[in-house]
A and B are shown apart, each in its own frame.
Chain A
Amino acid sequence: DTGVSQNPRHKITKRGQNVTFRCDPISEHNRLYWYRQTLGQGPEFLTYFQNEAQLEKSRLLSDRFSAERPKGSFSTLEIQRTEQGDSAMYLCASSFAEAFFGQGTRLTVV
């Protein structure tokens, strides 16, 4: 399978815990995006990498969120001290021209 891969697919965590998600993009894609989506809404931009450089981060994103893309390959998204409002689907997409999404990670904070 050469598509975008995200792990885990589902994550249930207690409020206050830290979580980390992983995204493996399509290998020849140099751009990688993280989005968050809640029910009835379109994907909300979180952050964007070109190769290993983080080019943009949403102003809506608190400092509890951090993302990395070491060596321009896979990326991780970490949420520290999770809150119930963080419950959402976290989507990763990679792009050369068109963006292709992974299956998403559904986070539930209890």
Chain B
Amino acid sequence: QKEVEQNSGPLSVPEGAIASLNCTYSDRGSQSFFWYRQYSGKSPELIMSIYSNGDKEDGRFTAQLNKASQYVSLLIRDSQPSDSATYLCAVTDTGNQFYFGTGTSLTVIP
């Protein structure tokens, strides 16, 4: 059973702070790693992808991957109220099958 685990939260941070979201996965053969943002009642929206160990930065977002620890994280710098959403972690296996966590709810307090 391939599992993706996320702390469900809710996570609350003040506006302008750094939000840190974490994800662990069970399958050592996992190939690719993604973070999606999902607003209430909407479908998931891809915000970051990462394929190799280390950090990947895109604007205010930084994804971090550590395959040895089977751990991927997302940092959101200068958090804004518009970042309030559920963040889903997803990983793929060698068959390109996507596995999703249950998501972490983030609230940015103005």
Does A pair with B? yes
Partner of B90, one of A41, A91, A99, A102: A99
Establish whether residues A45 and B44, one from each chain, have CB atoms under 8 Å apart when the complex forms: no
Contact A101 to B95, CB < 8 A, known contacts A42-B88, A42-B102, A43-B88: no
Which residues of A does B touch, CB under 8 Å? 31, 33, 35, 40-43, 45, 48, 50, 55-56, 89, 91, 93, 95, 97-104
- Which residues of A have CB within 8 Å of B32? 97
Summarize A's interface: helix, strand, loop or mixed: strand
Q: Interface 1/0s, chain B 6-37, versus A by CB < 8 A?
A: 00100000000000000000000000101010
- Which residues of B have CB within 8 Å of A103? 42-43
The interface size of chain B toward A, counting residues with CB under 8 Å, comes to 22
Taking the closest CB of chain B, its distance from the CB of A57, in whole angstroms, is 11
Q: Interface 1/0s, chain B 69-110, versus A by CB < 8 A?
A: 000000000000000000010100001111111110000000
A-B contact count (CB 8 A): 51
- Which residues of B have CB within 8 Å of A41? 102-103
Establish whether residues A56 and B44, one from each chain, have CB atoms under 8 Å apart when the complex forms: no
Cα separation A98 to B46 with both chains bound (whole Å) = 8
Establish whether residues B46 and A91, one from each chain, have CB atoms under 8 Å apart when the complex forms: no
**A42-B4, A43-B100, A55-B95 known; 19 other A-B pairs, CB under 8 Å?**
A35-B100, A40-B8, A40-B102, A41-B103, A42-B101, A42-B102, A42-B103, A45-B98, A50-B96, A56-B97, A97-B32, A97-B49, A98-B49, A99-B90, A99-B98, A100-B46, A101-B46, A103-B43, A104-B43
